[in-house]
Amino acid sequence: MKGWIISNTAFILLVIIWSFWHRDYVSPIIVFSQSFAVIAVVLFLININMYFVFLIIRKSKVKEVKKTLALFSRKMMKFHVAIAITATALIIVHAILMISFHPIELFAIKKASGLLAMVILAVHLFSGWLRRKKASGFRRLFHLRMAFIFLFFFLVHIFV
C-alpha cells in the first residue's frame, strides 16, 4: 500500500517537474494551461487507480484489507463520474488554450499525440456512458481497455 502511494506521488511530481521545468517558453497562458493539464492528470490518475483498488480487492487474501478497500471503493465510485467530467473539462480548456497559442501541426508528435489522446478520451467517456446505462462484461472490459489506451497516449503526450 505504501509503495502504491509513493509511486503515485512520484509520478505526479515527475509530471509537474517535466511540465514546468522542461519547457523553453514562459508565457503566462502556457503556464496556466499546463496547470490545468497537471490537475487533470492527477484527477485521471485517481480514477485509473480505482482499477488497482479493485484488483487488490480481488487478489488479496487478507479479509481486513478487502473490507477496508471495498468500503473505500464504494465511497470513491460515487465521485468517479464527477472526477472524470472535471478532468475532461480541464483537458478541454488546456487544449483550447494551447491551440489558440500554438497553431496545430499534425506532424509535431506532441500535438498529434494530444489530439489522438483527446479522440481516445472521447471514446473512453462514451464507453463509460454506455456502461452506466447498461452494464455488461464486454462494456466493462472495453471501458477498462480504453482507460489504459488513453493512459498510454496521454503519457506519450506528456513526456514527448
- pTM attached to this predicted model: 0.83
Query: What is the three-state SS of the chain?
Result: CHHHHHHHHHHHHHHHHHHHHCCCCCCHHHHHHHHHHHHHHHHHHHHHHHHHHHHHHHHCCCHHHHHHHHHHHHHHHCCHHHHHHHHHHHHHHHHHHHHHHCCCCCCCHHHHHHHHHHHHHHHHHHHHHHHHHCCCHHHHHHHHHHHHHHHHHHHHHHHC
Query: Would you kindly state where each structural domain of the chain is located, as residue ranges?
Result: 1-102, 103-160
Model pLDDT for residues 112-138, shown as the tens digit of each residue: 888 999 999 999 999 999 988 988 889
Model pLDDT for residues 22-77, shown as the tens digit of each residue: 665 667 888 888 889 889 999 998 898 888 888 888 988 889 989 998 999 999 98
In the predicted model, is pLDDT for residue 19 greater than 80?
A: no
